[in-house]
Structure 1
Amino acid sequence: MAVIPIDLAGRSYQVRTGSGLLKELPDQCGALLRKKAVPVITDTNVAEYWRGAVETTLAEAGFEPHWHIVDAGEASKSWSVLEELVDWLLAEEVERGDHIIALGGGVIGDLTGFAAAILKRGCGFIQVPTTLLAQVDSSVGGKTAINTRAGKNLVGAFHQPGLVLADLDTLGTLPIREMRAGYAEVIKYGILGNRAFFDWCEENGAKVVAGDRAAQEYAVCRSVEAKAAIVAEDERETKGARALLNLGHTFGHALEAETGFSDRLLHGEAVALGMVLAARYSARKRLISDTDAQRVSAAIGAAGLATEISALGLDCNGTKLAAHMLHDKKMDAGTLPFILLNSIGEAFLDRDVSMEDIAAFMEEQLEKGV
């Protein structure tokens, strides 16, 4: 088991990565589980595979899991599902010193974390991520949120977990599409800040997606270490460093909005295509070479992820996609900064981007590959 500390002022915690952690859940959580009743939030898909294992390990240790199961999918990050969850937690008499378990992918982590942030002005929660995307990204760093009509993750809070347990065994139940979507967040760390890790991903990305456990452990640990360093430097995204983690997200969220935040386009798939677009736009601005932009596209495409907007079959124009971006959380004084590349392994925040140029660029990309 690898242990990676997230060092924050007064709120440090650990990310533990390895196989068999669900079987050790009570021991791993220790004093964080202070009552016999343990609230566990999950979704219908995860419950099918892992509810039995969690029931058994908690019961054998003298605990009694109380389950709240929501529908799988991005639609559960909503006001109505949040309200139901908070009402259930209040009925369960959860106290501020208690810890709720979030068992699932990014949707469950975001939803549960936000509920924990607002319940009685803040109670504890434990992240038990079961997808590759959640293990390398959304479970670490304390960002929690739900979606609204205006856009993705626009209502939320920074609320750090008490512990993150990333059991690699849970990756064995994921469909190949989910693995590919999670891998997008792995290679992101190489593209934005570590050329050597990008090189490793070029050589080993297929192994990660295919289920090679050693490659998965290396990928998860290196990704979490990279995010831990950035979160420790800029926990609440006020200094610019943490914003780099949004590489591909501004472009990607626009595509998610156009597809209705649905399973038509998974978050990781959107981020992957968004990183290709960020690299191409960086080349358009002559920040990187066309060769480097093509290398980013090839590395992402090699994992089985789409690299052309035309693959989505959208019925819109570049202006509409650019308009979606104006709901981005990074909007500041009416301007939208973009995460672009000075090179592979060196991302930066560009605050001087013309939205008219973005619209024209997106129009070109819509036509590409048609």
Structure 2
Amino acid sequence: MRESLEDICCSKIRVIVGEGSLSKLSEIKDSNTVVIYSRRVDVTDKINKYLPNVYFIPINDGESAKELSNVISIVEKLFERNFDRGDYVIAVGGGTVTDVAGFIASIYLRGLNLVNVPTTFLGMVDAAIGGKNGVNFNNIKNLIGTFYQPSMIISDLEFLETLPIEELKKGLAEVIKYGLTLDKELYDYLSLNKDRVINKDKQVLEEVIFRSTLDKLGIVKEDERETKGIRIVLNFGHTIGHAIEAGSSFNVPHGYAISVGMVCEAKIAEELGYAEEGVVEDVLWLLQLYGLPYDISQIDAPIDIRLALNAINMDKKHRKDAILMPFPTRIGSWKKVEVPLDTIKGFAEQCLKK
């Protein structure tokens, strides 16, 4: 089991990764505690083992759970149970759950204690980390949101025992992103341990999750609220990746879209002279090693180019007629570049043609 205590602005975040780490929940005592969890994963017995007197609220996975009306109904339940600022919200699940629970924890009495317990690999390496919480409004995703850090992130490997390999691969795209832009040692570790990763060797997964968590938190420490242009590195592959998702009417899984997006954006970086020669090959090699898609022809869904290009127009890194892009310069290093919108759209159109 690996453990670290990280400082972000005014918050201390305790990171615990490893088999059996869920036992750390037993340290929560003498508080009202609500567990918000995904209906897809029955966690009541696992949690009751360490916290016998908690209140459980199941929610659906997917965007419908992130409607403001759902949030208000949960707030009403906490109010009925007299929750106060010393009490706890525990999020158990994937990105939807951590978004909803984190948002509720941040707004109720201006802040309850928040504990994130991701149950998916993608959650453990990305969604549960960073303190961004959002809910939907008027059919716009994450229009209402907060930055609010959990006091604890617990990644218990037991949740991954039944995880299908395809779900593991979807999360690996985000891990590879950290290796390509921030952490050459992680890139090398992934290169040398492919079989052990795919076979879900617990020692290897613990190392991968722990390094990924600290890589992301290291960036969040420097730019928690995305005001310094540092946190954009976490969006490498995401400008084109989000365009692929939008162009497919969100029928392409996020991890696969980001995988192809990283190749496209590495090619743009090399073409514009920001990446060293060979970076594209390094990106391709690791994605191919793990069987992730690296070309739009490997995406098994039609892509509407018009919808994809419109998504680039709406990109959150958009500044007037340019987009701030995090380009890999060599493995483990990156540079922020302001790229004209028309240039990005031109490259995207080439990249997304099947």
Q: Report the TM-score when normalising by structure 1.
A: 0.87
**Residue 357 of structure 1: aligned partner:** 343
What are the equivalent positions in structure 2 for 1:91-240 lying under 5 Å apart? 91-147=80-136, 152-240=141-229
Note the C-alpha offset of 1:269. Answer: 2.6
Tell me which of 253, 256, 267 is aligned to 1:280: 267
CA contact 2:240–2:348 (8 Å) conserved in 1: no
Q: Secondary structure at the match of 1:254?
A: helix
Residue aligning to 2:246? 257
Distance 1:338 1:348, change over 3 A: same
Unaligned runs of 5+ in 2: none
Q: Tell me which of 334, 340, 345 is aligned to 2:327.
A: 340
Partner of 2:256: 269
1:315–1:248 Cα change, 3 Å: closer
- 1:52 corresponds to 2:45: yes
Identity %: 33
Q: Is the 8 A contact 2:248 2:301 kept in 1?
A: no
What is the Cα deviation at residue 301 of structure 1?
2.8
1:274-317 alpha-carbon deviations (Å, 9 max, x no partner): 22221122122232356321321231232222222231422412
Secondary structure of the residue aligned to 1:69 is: strand
1:42 and 2:42 aligned: no
CA contact (8 A) 1:234 1:240 kept: yes
In 2, Cα distance between equivalents of 1:157 and 1:336: 23
Shift of 1:110: 1.4
The whole-number CA distance in structure 2 between the counterparts of 1:92 and 1:114 is 18
Establish whether residue 82 from structure 1 lines up as the match of residue 71 from structure 2. yes
AA aligned to 1:12 is: K
Over 3 Å counting, the alpha-carbon distance change for 1:339 and 1:152 in structure 2 is farther
Q: Identify the range of structure 1 (243-252 vs 307-316) with the bigger mean alpha-carbon deviation.
A: 307-316
Distance 1:10 1:179, change over 3 A: same
Report the Cα offset of residue 75 of structure 1: 4.3
Shift of 1:173: 2.3
**C-alpha distance in 1 between matches for 2:126 and 2:26:** 24
CA RMSD, Structure 1 to Structure 2 (Å):
2.2
Structure 1 position 148, deviation (Å): 5.2
1:366 aligns with 2:347: no
Q: Does the 8 Å CA contact 2:125/2:209 hold for their aligned counterparts? A: yes
Q: In terms of mean alpha carbon deviation, does 231-240 or 143-152 score higher?
A: 143-152
SS of 2:319's partner is coil
Measure the CA separation in 1 of the matches of 2:139 and 2:257: 18
Does structure 1 retain, via aligned residues, the 8 Å contact 2:171–2:255? Answer: yes
Q: 1:148 to 1:269 in 2, by over 3 A?
A: farther
Map of 1:5-84 to 2, 5 A cutoff?
5-27=5-27, 30=28, 33-35=29-31, 37-47=32-42, 50-59=43-52, 64-84=53-73
For the 8 Å contact 1:151–1:257, the answer to whether it is kept is no
- 1:226 partner letter: D
**Contact 2:270–2:276 at 8 Å: present in 1 too?**
yes
Q: Quick check: 2:321–2:341 contact (8 Å CA) kept in 1?
A: no
Q: Structure 1: which amino acid aligns with 2:304?
A: C
1:149 deviates by: 6.3
1:272 deviates by 2.2
Q: TM-score, normalised by structure 2?
A: 0.91
Question: Hey, what's the Cα distance between the residues in 2 that align with 1:279 and 1:364?
Answer: 14
Deviation at 1:151, TM superposition (A): 5.4
Shift of residue 40 of structure 1? Answer: 0.5
Contact kept, 8 Å, 1:5 with 1:228, in 2: the verdict is: no
Gaps in structure 1 of 5+ consecutive residues: none
